[in-house]
Amino acid sequence: MSELLNFNYPPEPATERVTLFADVILPLPLPKLYTYRIPFEMNDDVLVGVRVIVQFGAKKVLSCIVADIHENAPPDYQAKYILDVLDDTPIVTAPQLRLFKWIADYYMCTLGEVINAALPSALKLSSESRIQLHPHYNPEEDELILAPQEEKIIFALQNNPALTFTEIATLLQGKSYHKYIKSLIQKEAIIIFEQISDKFAPKVVKKIRLTEHFVQEEGMLEELFNQLAPQPKQLDVLLSYLQKVPVHQDINLNYKGIEKSALTTNSHLSASSINTLVKKGVLEQFDQIVSRFPLDNEPKQLPMVLSEYQLKAKDEILGLFKEKDTVLLHGITGSGKTEVYIDLIKHALEGGGQILYLLPEIALTAQIVTRLIKVFGDKLGVYHSKFSDNERAEVWQGILAGRFQVVVGVRSAVFLPFHDLSLVIIDEEHEPSYKQYDPAPRYNARETALMMAHLQSAKTLLGSATPSIETYYNCQTNRWGLVNMHQRFGEAQLPETELVNIREEQLRKTMHSHFSGKLLTAMEERLQRNEQVILFQNRRGYAPFISCDECSWIPKCKNCAVSLSYHKYNNELRCHYCGYHEQMPHDCPACGATTLKSMGFGTEKVEDELKLLLPNAEVQRMDLDTTKKKNSYQQIIADFENGKTNVLVGTQMVTKGLDFENVSLVGILNADTIINFPDFRAHERAYQLFVQVSGRAGRKSKAGSVVIQTRDPQQPIFRKVIHNDYLGLYEHEIEERLRFSYPPFVRMIRITVKHADERTAENAAIVLAKDLTDRLGKQQVLGPEVPYIFRIRNMFLQEIHIKLPRENMNLKSAKGQIAQTIFNLKLMPDFKATRVVTDVDPA
């Protein structure tokens, strides 16, 4: 049974007068929960998981989540009363609260930070929340039956454009004002909004229909025609309505009516004649609440028939699920993992319960959602940050109400109010984008989803062509099950990979700017055959820095220790760390020469140069800069799918799981910076990136090839990429990890110390490291060290790495020690202003 129903009601039915208290999670980074007293009359309404309104501090009025209900007054302060209850039923479920507590403990942050990240802002109210009159409500004319308190609010709103919750509380001088707000919202007299962003309001369409008696009473329609004869424009409206809604054939059609806009757009009918007919009482106007996710009820298409090896994989997965909770599907790129997932989701749906399908990237959801909607219709919910607040709140509510049984989403979908999960799928499980770097909670959605599945006794399927070393290790040690798919679907083969030595081409003078002769020829060939090309460059912007030819001056960020990137489209120099930007200077500010040159290259430059090198090709770019708008991902992907564009240039966004049938060539423009990145995961990451981007080629009937440009073709990682030798990579990596004590053999925690003053940052880090060493042991603490980028947003950084052995280590107590050390540091007068960030399992 769903856990939603097993909620902790107040311990006693409210027959005798028990005094109850509620521990609430405020959406603030507070180290503990606060206890509020439940007014007696609210005893039955305050439930675990509902939102309540409380006063916090002298001025703030906040909405927060009830985490616990009990009879214990707080020993050290006088509990304030809860002011109001916002929800009739919990909006946060019991398993969700357990998960949130786990996230806070594991990732060393506060529950408030978790709640803040979890709730869509449309579900968060603060003293900043304001109400205003509903734009369609006119208090002078519209007659609504209002309670005296409601009248008071409306009266105040006629004199003020907007009121905050705090102001309303003062106005009504009573504790319980939210029910009046709620009632006024239901009466459509007011709306709530959070500053200027949109509020959670259902989407409404204006519709019109014939007034009932024209339909119900015999002969009325004919009479109406006669009456309207002298007004041809109005008659036109009537005729047009009857054409679209043939009520003379079926009078029941009238009830649904038609969208007003459907009558006015693309027709000669004027809105004013429609309005006149409404005034005359011939037509009536009404509002209908519609879903923001209008999907067809019926799935359009049956799922594809699984091939023999896909079926085998599916059966193996189901078999392994009998003994294990977690299984990895290791299937090469293009092996058809998605279809296996779809089949498993169907299977899970039959058993009841909810399914979460996690993807690492919004770009990928665009394609997968199209595939899933065909199979699951309106059972499918979609969740990511390009959705508006309202849309996200609607998905949240839809999951609670059981409307969405299958949810596809990116990282933040692990916060959704599932309460009856049966299956979690984590696609491209190796992806670093599952980890949130900033702000807290610095969680990894993969680990979090695994914990969520565990808490709800659901099964988890991880999928990847290039599994993370940690995941594969879990399979090798038999904790998790492993299922392989070693062939591509249908006739498709893995692409052939060719390395191009840029150094040699430069000597032979066959380079065209950043394009080797080889890559350019290959592109021309493919384009001539009307096939498509994907180019990958791991840097956005035009150039990572510029420099003066005369004096070697390089512009740096004012706030960070990095050079500014050049963005040509707006002629700007921009910091990719803090967003600082300035106009590109015309001449060198240091020496006055006009010889500023861009150095290195990013996706924007690749796009630019292609326009010269291949003037007939349509080129599109997909990176952070071109995907800011809500639908830009979909547009770029659709254009490429439909063959409108021939070449897609992009950052890592183009490497992840995308499926285009006509791509026969993939070019990696500069492989070297990726391999030489200073990190213990650099080789693993490089392998994953190269294999994944290569995997976009030759997915259907066309033979695919890959060209990798490098200055160091001897680099051993390339051999593994060319031979798709994942096991070779794994064995090499796992040995190194063991030898040098890295995950999966230890757990890492990175502590970053920040201070505006460089010396203070250094001293604080030294003190912290010393204390940590005393508590945890010398072996466990590395650093402090100055990171490669040593200043960001005007803060100087120092890093300490903690390595905790997997065996014989009480993780909880170690984290407790770390938290205590940080707490003590901040008590020292010199280090009060130090910021300390803990990142557990840093990516």
Ligand X SMILES: Nc1ncnc2c1ncn2[C@@H]1O[C@H](COP(=O)(O)OP(=O)(O)OP(=O)(O)O)[C@@H](O)[C@H]1O
Binding site per annotation, positions: 548, 551, 557, 560, 575, 578, 588, 591
Stretch that binds Zn ion, among 354-362, 377-385, 567-575, 835-843 (CB under 5 A): 567-575
Report the alpha-carbon distance of residue 799 to residue 789 in Å, rounded. 11
Residues 444-483 contacting ligand X, CB under 6 A = 465
Q: Are 726 and 335 in contact (CB under 8 A)?
A: no
Which of 337, 446, 683, 801 touches ligand X by CB under 6 A? Answer: 337
Q: At 18, is the secondary structure helix, strand, or coil?
A: coil
Q: Which is nearer to Zn ion, 7 or 580 (CB)?
A: 580
Distances in Å between the Cα of 551 and the Cα atoms of 547, 573, 588 are 8, 19, 9
Residue 735: other Cβ atoms inside 10 A: 10
Q: Count of residues binding ligand X (CB under 6 A)?
A: 19
Q: Which does 376 bind (CB under 5 to 8 A by kind): ligand X, Zn ion, none?
A: none
Which of 110, 129, 254, 310 touches ligand X by CB under 6 A? Answer: 310
Q: Which two tokens stand for residue 469?
A: 């070393």
Under DSSP, the state recorded for 414 is G
Q: Which two tokens stand for residue 157?
A: 């709103």
By CB under 6 A, residue 335 contacts ligand X: yes
Which of 333, 537, 538, 834 touches ligand X by CB under 6 A? Answer: 333
Report the alpha-carbon distance of residue 102 to residue 452 in Å, rounded. 9
Which of 334, 398, 541, 667 touches ligand X by CB under 6 A? Answer: 334
Q: Which does 559 bind (CB under 5 to 8 A by kind): Zn ion, ligand X, none?
A: Zn ion
Q: How far is the CB of 602 from Zn ion (least distance, A)?
A: 17
Q: How far is the CB of 345 from ligand X (least distance, A)?
A: 13
Q: Which does 645 bind (CB under 5 to 8 A by kind): Zn ion, ligand X, none?
A: none
By CB under 6 A, residue 90 contacts ligand X: no
Report the alpha-carbon distance of residue 17 to residue 15 in Å, rounded. 6
By CB under 6 A, residue 657 contacts ligand X: yes
User: Which H helix or E strand runs over 235?
Assistant: helix 232-244
By CB under 5 A, residue 790 contacts Zn ion: no
Q: How far is the CB of 819 from ligand X (least distance, A)?
A: 40
Report the alpha-carbon distance of residue 330 to residue 324 in Å, rounded. 16
Nearest C-alpha neighbor of 655 from the set 352, 347, 431, 822 = 431
By CB under 5 A, residue 580 contacts Zn ion: yes
By CB under 5 A, residue 786 contacts Zn ion: no
Q: Which does 695 bind (CB under 5 to 8 A by kind): Zn ion, ligand X, none?
A: ligand X
Site map (CB under 6 A) of ligand X, residues 603-642, x = contact: ----------------------------------------
Site map (CB under 6 A) of ligand X, residues 688-707, x = contact: -------x---x--------
Site map (CB under 6 A) of ligand X, residues 713-742, x = contact: ------------------------------
Q: Which does 578 bind (CB under 5 to 8 A by kind): ligand X, Zn ion, none?
A: Zn ion
Nearest C-alpha neighbor of 535 from the set 598, 607, 642, 615 = 607
Which of 110, 121, 326, 338 touches ligand X by CB under 6 A? Answer: 338
Q: How far is the CB of 355 from Zn ion (least distance, A)?
A: 42
By CB under 5 A, residue 7 contacts Zn ion: no
Report the alpha-carbon distance of residue 150 to residue 156 in Å, rounded. 10
Residue 798 gets the label, from left (phi > 0), alpha (psi -120 to 50) or beta, of beta
The HSE-up count of residue 595 (CA atoms within 13 Å, CB side) is 8
Q: Which two tokens stand for residue 382?
A: 């979609």
Report the alpha-carbon distance of residue 599 to residue 565 in Å, rounded. 10
By CB under 5 A, residue 795 contacts Zn ion: no
By CB under 6 A, residue 360 contacts ligand X: no
Q: Which does 334 bind (CB under 5 to 8 A by kind): ligand X, Zn ion, none?
A: ligand X
Tokens 């209908």, residue located: 288
Cis, peptide link before residue 441, omega less than 30° from 0: yes
Q: Which residue type does 128 have?
A: E
Q: How far is the CB of 336 from ligand X (least distance, A)?
A: 3
CA angle 540, 544, 546 (to 5 degrees): 140
Residue 827: other Cβ atoms inside 10 A: 8
Q: Which is nearer to ligand X, 422 or 694 (CB)?
A: 694
Q: Which does 577 bind (CB under 5 to 8 A by kind): Zn ion, ligand X, none?
A: Zn ion
* Residue 766 neighbours by CB under 8 Å, 6+ apart: 784
Binding-site residue ranges for Zn(2+): 548, 551, 557, 560, 575, 578, 588, 591
Burial of 460 (0-12, 13-18, 19+ CB in 10 A): buried
- The CA dihedral of 301, 302, 307, 309, to the nearest 10 degrees, is 110
Q: Which residue type does 83 have?
A: L
Q: How far is the CB of 449 from ligand X (least distance, A)?
A: 18
Stretch that binds Zn ion, among 180-188, 349-357, 471-479, 571-579 (CB under 5 A): 571-579
Residue 539 gets the label, from left (phi > 0), alpha (psi -120 to 50) or beta, of beta
Q: First vs last Cα of the chain: how many Å apart?
A: 37
Stretch that binds ligand X, among 77-85, 333-341, 766-774, 780-788 (CB under 6 A): 333-341
Residues 525-564 contacting Zn ion, CB under 5 A = 557, 559-560
Stretch that binds ligand X, among 263-271, 299-307, 377-385, 599-607 (CB under 6 A): 299-307
Report the alpha-carbon distance of residue 777 to residue 764 in Å, rounded. 19
Q: Which is nearer to ligand X, 211 or 338 (CB)?
A: 338
* Residue 84 neighbours by CB under 8 Å, 6+ apart: 52, 53, 175, 176, 177, 178, 179
Stretch that binds ligand X, among 305-313, 531-539, 542-550, 813-821 (CB under 6 A): 305-313
Q: How far is the CB of 462 from ligand X (least distance, A)?
A: 12
Chain contacts with Zn ion (rule: CB under 5 A): 557, 559-560, 575, 577-578, 580
Chain contacts with ligand X (rule: CB under 6 A): 304-307, 310, 331, 333-339, 465, 489, 657, 659, 695, 699
